C-alpha cells in the first residue's frame, strides 16, 4: 500500500462511527463594504508605518515629497508614469534581485487593505509586480486608494482571488523573539510608507 | 493504530523539571516574557466584540474539518497538483525526513534555508539532513538563537524564550561572524541577524517550510510570520518543500477569516502579524513546489473521541503563556517539541500514552489554558481522560486496590480513619512519607488526616 493509501485508510478507520460535525453557518459577507480610511491610518501608525494622505489630484505631488532623497527607486513594470511625474531620482523598472538589494526604496500600489488591522494585501496585480520587489529593498512605499480599503478580514478575503500569490503586510518587518517584546526591522523592509490616496 | 516518532518524548516530567525549577535565571526570563505577552494578548483580544463567537467558529470549523479529513485532504491534493505542486505523503518522521532529504539531494544543493516550522522540529529534520551532509539554516530569529547555541526549542512561538537579551548578545558575539560588537538591545540583535542571513537568502536555491493552513478548496498554503524570513524563503529560492501536518487543512478560503483573526491576537498579541504569505502551487516564486503531507501519529489522535480535539490546535502558544506549570518549568521539562498544556495532551497522543506517561500529569488542571485557547480545546478534560489511560505502576495499582478494599466497608473505613488519626503531631503536612508513598511525596507535601474525622465530628453534632 502506498503511503497515501495507508494514511487515508488510517484516517477513515479513525473516523469510523464518529458523529457528524456540521460546518458552522457561513456569515454573509459584503465584499463591497468600505473600510474607514481614518481607522486604517491609525492602525498603520500603531504598527510603526508612516502614513501620508493625498487628496484628489495630489498623488504625484505627495509622492514627490515622500520620495525626496531616494536616489534609486525600484518600481513594477506597469507602475503608472503619472505617479512619478514629481520624482527626479533614478528609476529601475522590475530589476533583478541583486539590483533590488542596492536600491533605496520600492514604490508599488496595492490590491486590498484591512482597516481593522492596518493590513495591506498585494496580489501581483496592477502596479504591484513580483513578490521579490517589495521584499528585498529596505523601504517600501505603497500607494493605497481609499476604495481599496475593506473594513475587516472577511471582506478583504472576499475581494481577493485565492490562487493569486498573496502577501499580507502589517507594518514594517518585526520580531517578538527576544523576551517577547516587539522590535521593528528584521529581514523585510525596515520602513513602510503608506500613501492613502483619494481617487 | 500507528503512533508517531521523532522529537516527541523525553525524560519523566517531574525528573526533568527538578533541575529547571532550581534555575533562578530561567524562571526570571520566563516570568518576564510570559507576563509581557499575557498583557499584550489581553489588550488586543479585548478589542474584538465578537471574540467568543469567533472562538466558537474556530472550534466548529476545526471539528467539521477533522470529521471530513480524508475527503478534504484529497481535495487539497487535487487542487494543489492542478496548480503545479507535487504532493507527497509521509506515514511517520523517518519517511518524511527521507522524502525531504531525497528532494534536496536531487537538486544537488548541500545547504537549505528554513522557515520556522514545528512539524520539521517534530520529525527531527535538521539532524536527518545533517546525517546526509545537508546543512539546514534556521532563519527565524529565535530558531537561529537556538541553533547557534546548540540548544533545543522551549516554546512553540518563541523557541528561545528561555534566554534573555544578555545571553543572546553573548551568544551572537561568540557564534555569529561579524557580530563581535553587538549590544544587548533587541533592535541591534535583530540587525545583526539581518546582516548574517542576507547573503544566505539571496543565494539559497532550496527552502524548507511548514504551513499554518492548507486550504482544501483551492490547494493554497499559508505561512504566518513576522520577520520577513518566511517571505525570503518562500519567494527567492528555486525549490520550495513544505511539510504540512494533515490537520492543517481548512475547508475553504473564506474560513481563513476566522483563523487570521484568532491567531495573531492569541499568539504575539498583535491585531495582525507583519507578514502572511499565501501561495497556490507554482506561482510567483519557486519553480519547483513540493508539499509533504505528514501523519506521524495524527491518525491515532483522530481515533480518540475525546482527545481528537488536540488536532484543532493552531500553534498560537497562548496556553503556554498562561500556564502556571509552564511558567515555572519552561518548555524543556516536557521533553517534546510541543511543550506546555497543548503539548501535555498532544505529545502523549501522538506517541501513545505508554511512551509519554508523565505528561498528562504535568498540569494542575487550573483551566487557564482552556480559557485562552482560540479554538476552545478543552485541555483539562483531555488531560483527565489521558490520565485514566496512562498505565499505572504496580505500587500505585496495589495501593488503589487496598484503598478500594478499605472504602468498600463502612466499619473498615471508620477504623482506618481512626488509625490514621492516632499519632499525636503538630504538623499538618508530611514532607516525606515512607516508601512506597515516598514516590508521591518527592515533589509534594502530604496533607495529614485530621485528629478527628468528619464522620466522628458529625456524630458528635458539629
Contact A165 B63 (CB under 8 A): no
CB A146 within 8 A of CB A196: yes
Partner B, chain A 56-85, Cβ-Cβ below 8 Å: none
How many C-beta atoms lie closer than 10 Å to residue B32's C-beta?
15
ipTM of the complex: 0.97
CB A195 within 8 A of CB A60: no
Q: Is the pLDDT of residue B419 over 80?
A: no
CATH number, domain with residue A53: 3.40.50.10420
Contacts of A153 (CB under 8 A, 6+ apart): A114, A116, A117, A119, B256, B257, B260, B261
**CA B242 to centroid of chain Cα atoms:** 19
Burial (CB count within 10 angstroms: exposed 0-12, middle 13-18, buried 19+), residue B425: exposed
Q: How confident is the model at residue B411 (pLDDT cuts 50, 70, 90)?
A: confident
Note whether residue A143 is domain-resident.
yes
pLDDT digits (tens, 9 = 90+) for B289-347: 999 999 999 999 999 999 999 999 999 999 999 999 999 999 999 999 999 999 999 99
CB A194 within 8 A of CB A144: yes
Per-residue cell: B150: 546548540
User: Can you tell me the distance from the alpha carbon of A192 to that of A178, in angstroms, rounded to the nearest whole number?
Assistant: 22
pLDDT at B457 (0 to 100): 84
Residue of B348, B346, B345, B342 lying closest to B323 (CA atoms) = B342
The answer to whether B167 faces chain A, any CB pair under 8 Å, is no
Distance from CA of B116 to the nearest CA of A (A): 12
Rounded to an integer, the average pLDDT of B244-258 is 98
Residue intervals in chain B for CATH 3.40.50.10420: 51-298
pLDDT at B340 (0 to 100): 97
Count how many Cα atoms sit within 13 Å of the Cα of residue B76 in the half-sphere of its side chain. 31
Contact B226 A173 (CB under 8 A): yes
Q: Chain A partners of B168 at a C-beta cutoff of 8 Å?
A: 178
Note whether residue A160 is domain-resident.
yes
User: Can you tell me the distance from the alpha carbon of B74 to that of A4, in angstroms, rounded to the nearest whole number?
Assistant: 10
Note whether residue A11 is domain-resident.
no
Report the percentage of chain A scoring pLDDT > 70.
100
CB A173 within 8 A of CB A184: yes
Contacts of B54 (CB under 8 A, 6+ apart): B48, B258, B261, B262, B374
Q: Strand, coil or helix: what is B98?
A: helix
Q: Chain B partners of A4 at a C-beta cutoff of 8 Å?
A: 89
Note whether residue A178 is domain-resident.
yes
What are the start-end ranges of the E strands in chain A? 50-54, 72-75, 90-93, 105-108, 112-114, 119-122, 139-145, 149-150, 166-169, 174-178, 181-184, 191-197
User: Can you tell me the distance from the alpha carbon of B402 to that of B343, in angstroms, rounded to the nearest whole number?
Assistant: 33
User: Can you tell me the distance from the alpha carbon of B75 to that of B80, in angstroms, rounded to the nearest whole number?
Assistant: 9
Residue B56 backbone dihedrals phi, psi, to 5 degrees: -65, -40
pLDDT at B413 (0 to 100): 82
DSSP state of B74: H
What angle is formed at CA B176 by the lines to CA B175 and CA B178, rounded to 5 degrees? Answer: 130
Note whether residue A184 is domain-resident.
yes
Note whether residue A3 is domain-resident.
no
Burial (CB count within 10 angstroms: exposed 0-12, middle 13-18, buried 19+), residue B447: exposed
| Range from A55-59, B80-84, B106-110, B415-419 carrying the lowest mean pLDDT | B415-419
Nearest CA in chain B to A158: B254
Residue that the C-alpha cell 557580530 belongs to: B179
Q: How many domains does chain A have?
A: 1
Which class is B51-298 in CATH? alpha beta
pLDDT digits (tens, 9 = 90+) for B100-138: 999 999 999 999 999 999 999 999 999 999 999 999 999
Best of B284, B309, B350 to disrupt the A interface (most A CBs within 10 Å) is B284
From the list A21, A168, A178, which residue is nearest B64 (CB)?
A: A21
Note whether residue A53 is domain-resident.
yes
DSSP per-residue string spanning B313-369: -----HHHHH-HHHHHH-SGGG-SSS-HHHHHHHHHHHH-GGGGTTGGGS-----HH
pLDDT digits (tens, 9 = 90+) for B32-60: 999 999 999 999 999 999 999 999 999 99
Range of the domain at A173: 30-197
Q: What's the Rg (C-alpha) of chain A?
A: 21
The answer to whether A28 faces chain B, any CB pair under 8 Å, is no
Q: Residue A179 region, left (φ>0) first, then alpha (ψ -120 to 50), else beta?
A: left
How many C-beta atoms lie closer than 10 Å to residue B400's C-beta?
11
Q: Strand, coil or helix: what is A43?
A: helix
How many C-beta atoms lie closer than 10 Å to residue B41's C-beta?
23
User: Can you tell me the distance from the alpha carbon of B356 to that of B344, in angstroms, rounded to the nearest whole number?
Assistant: 9
pLDDT digits (tens, 9 = 90+) for B149-171: 999 999 999 999 999 999 999 99
Per-residue cell: B344: 501535555
Contact B299 A117 (CB under 8 A): no
Amino acid at each position: 500500500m502506498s503511503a497515501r493509501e495507508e494514511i487515508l485508510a488510517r484516517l477513515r478507520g479513525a473516523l469510523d462511527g464518529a458523529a457528524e460535525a456540521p460546518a458552522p453557518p457561513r456569515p454573509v459577507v459584503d465584499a463591497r463594504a468600505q473600510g474607514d480610511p481614518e481607522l486604517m491610518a491609525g492602525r498603520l501608525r500603531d504598527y510603526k508605518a508612516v502614513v501620508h494622505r493625498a487628496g484628489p489630484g495630489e498623488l504625484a505631488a505627495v509622492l514627490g515629497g515622500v520620495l525626496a532623497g531616494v536616489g534609486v527607486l525600484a518600481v513594477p513594470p506597469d507602475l503608472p508614469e503619472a505617479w512619478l511625474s514629481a520624482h527626479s531620482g533614478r528609476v529601475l523598472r522590475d530589476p533583478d534581485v541583486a539590483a533590488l538589494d542596492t536600491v533605496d526604496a520600492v514604490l508599488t500600489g496595492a490590491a486590498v487593505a484591512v482597516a481593522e488591522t492596518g493590513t495591506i494585501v498585494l496580489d501581483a496585480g496592477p502596479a504591484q509586480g513580483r513578490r521579490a520587489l517589495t521584499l528585498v529593498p529596505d523601504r517600501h512605499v505603497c500607494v493605497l486608494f481609499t476604495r481599496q480599503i475593506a473594513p475587516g478580514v472577511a471582506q478583504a478575503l472576499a475581494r481577493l482571488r485565492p490562487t493569486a500569490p498573496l502577501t499580507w503586510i502589517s507594518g514594517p518587518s518585526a520580531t517578538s523573539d527576544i523576551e517577547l517584546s516587539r522590535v521593528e526591522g528584521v529581514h523585510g523592509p525596515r520602513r513602510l510608507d503608506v500613501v492613502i490616496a483619494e481617487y | 493504530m500507528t503512533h508517531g516518532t521523532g522529537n516527541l518524548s523525553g525524560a519523566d516530567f517531574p525528573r526533568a523539571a527538578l533541575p529547571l525549577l532550581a534555575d533562578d535565571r530561567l524562571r526570571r526570563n520566563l516570568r518576564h516574557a510570559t507576563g509581557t505577552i499575557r498583557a499584550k494578548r489581553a489588550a488586543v483580544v479585548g478589542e474584538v466584540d465578537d471574540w467568543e463567537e469567533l472562538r466558537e467558529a474556530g472550534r466548529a470549523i476545526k471539528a467539521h474539518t477533522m470529521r471530513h479529513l480524508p475527503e478534504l485532504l484529497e481535495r487539497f491534493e487535487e487542487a494543489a497538483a492542478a496548480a503545479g505542486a507535487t504532493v507527497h505523503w509521509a506515514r511517520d518522521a523517518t519517511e518524511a525526513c527521507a522524502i525531504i532529504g531525497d528532494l534536496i539531494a536531487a537538486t544537488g544543493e548541500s545547504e537549505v534555508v528554513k522557515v520556522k516550522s514545528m512539524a520539521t522540529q517534530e520529525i527531527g529534520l535538521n539532524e536527518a539532513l545533517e546525517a546526509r551532509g545537508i546543512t539546514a539554516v534556521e532563519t527565524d530569529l529565535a530558531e537561529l538563537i537556538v541553533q547557534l547555541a546548540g540548544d533545543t526549542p522551549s516554546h512553540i512561538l518563541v523557541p528561545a524564550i528561555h534566554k534573555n537579551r544578555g545571553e543572546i548578545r553573548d551568544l551572537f558575539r561568540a557564534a555569529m561572524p561579524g557580530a563581535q560588537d553587538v549590544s544587548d538591545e533587541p533592535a541591534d540583535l535583530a540587525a545583526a541577524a539581518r546582516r548574517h542571513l542576507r547573503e544566505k537568502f539571496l543565494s539559497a536555491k532550496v527552502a524548507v517550510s511548514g504551513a499554518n493552513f492548507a486550504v482544501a478548496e483551492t490547494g493554497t498554503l499559508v505561512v504566518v510570520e513576522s520577520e520577513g524570513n518566511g517571505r525570503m524563503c518562500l519567494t527567492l529560492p528555486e525549490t520550495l518543500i513544505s511539510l504540512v501536518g494533515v490537520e492543517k487543512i481548512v475547508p475553504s478560503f473564506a474560513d481563513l477569516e476566522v483563523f487570521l483573526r484568532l491567531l495573531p491576537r492569541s499568539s504575539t498579541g498583535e491585531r495582525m502579524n507583519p507578514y502572511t504569505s499565501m501561495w497556490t502551487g507554482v506561482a510567483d516564486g519557486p519553480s519547483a513546489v513540493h508539499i509533504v503531507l505528514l501523519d506521524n501519529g495524527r491518525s491515532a489522535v483522530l481515533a480518540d473521541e475525546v482527545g481528537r480535539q488536540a488536532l484543532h490546535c493552531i500553534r498560537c502558544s497562548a496556553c503556554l503563556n498562561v500556564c502556571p506549570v509552564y511558567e515555572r518549568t519552561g518548555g524543556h521539562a516536557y521533553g517534546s517539541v510541543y511543550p506546555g498544556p497543548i503539548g501535555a495532551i498532544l505529545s502523549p497522543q501522538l506517541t501513545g500514552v505508554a511512551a509519554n506517561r508523565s505528561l498528562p500529569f504535568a498540569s494542575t488542571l487550573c483551566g487557564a489554558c482552556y480559557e485562552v485557547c482560540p479554538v476552545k480545546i478543552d485541555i483539562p478534560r483531555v488531560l483527565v481522560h489521558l490520565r485514566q489511560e496512562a498505565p499505572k505502576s504496580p505500587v500505585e495499582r496495589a495501593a488503589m486496590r487496598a484503598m478500594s478494599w478499605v472504602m468498600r466497608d463502612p466499619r473498615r473505613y471508620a477504623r482506618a480513619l481512626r488509625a490514621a488519626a492516632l499519632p499525636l503531631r503538630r504538623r499538618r503536612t508530611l514532607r516525606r512519607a515512607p516508601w512506597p508513598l515516598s514516590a508521591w511525596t518527592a515533589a509534594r507535601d502530604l496533607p495529614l488526616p485530621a485528629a478527628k474525622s468528619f464522620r466522628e465530628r458529625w456524630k458528635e453534632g458539629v
